[in-house]
């Protein structure tokens, strides 16, 4: 085991420890309530972070928590959803065509009744 041959002096010890010091934490003001908070942390008084409600302390936590969390979708469900969208579009175009045909038929009937 390594053992120092001589004792470290006071000045050498002080020079070594000169960079070992406490630093003042960075603080910022909350844009919502104006309270002083640590940088990059949730405000302890209003419960918001970067303008979003993230804590139970915030007034609209329950409503926004439900709205913010979308359901995760796999690639299979995305493909299924796309096919459903295509089916709905096809149905809508078919319905529009049938409505146009019905309107044309009604117009012809009205012309016949006018004569």
- Return the domain boundaries, the chain: 25-70, 72-115
Strands 27-29 and 36-38: antiparallel
Neighbours of 46 (CB within 10 A): 19
Quote the CA–CA distance of 97 and 87 in Å, as a whole number.
15
Name the token pair of 100.
Answer: 């146009």
The answer to whether the beta carbons of residues 73 and 60 sit under 8 Å apart is no
Q: What is the pLDDT of residues 21-45, one digit of tens each?
A: 888 999 999 888 889 999 999 988 8
- pTM for this entry: 0.39
Q: What is the pLDDT of residues 50-106, one digit of tens each?
A: 888 887 767 777 665 566 566 665 666 667 777 777 787 778 788 878 888 888 888
Instruction: Label residue 107 exposed, middle or buried (CB < 10 Å: 0-12, 13-18, 19+).
Output: exposed
């Amino acid at each position: 085991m390594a053992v120092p041959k001589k004792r470290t002096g006071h000045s050498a010890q002080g020079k070594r420890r000169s960079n070992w010091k406490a630093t003042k934490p960075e603080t910022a003001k909350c844009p919502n309530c104006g309270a002083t908070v640590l940088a990059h942390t949730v405000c302890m008084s209003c419960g918001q972070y970067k303008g979003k409600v993230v804590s139970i302390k915030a007034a609209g936590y329950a409503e926004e928590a439900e709205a913010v969390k979308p359901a995760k979708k796999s690639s299979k469900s995305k493909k299924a959803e796309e096919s459903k969208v295509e089916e709905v579009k096809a149905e809508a175009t078919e319905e529009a065509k049938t409505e146009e045909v019905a309107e044309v038929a009604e117009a012809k009937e009205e012309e016949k009744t006018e004569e």
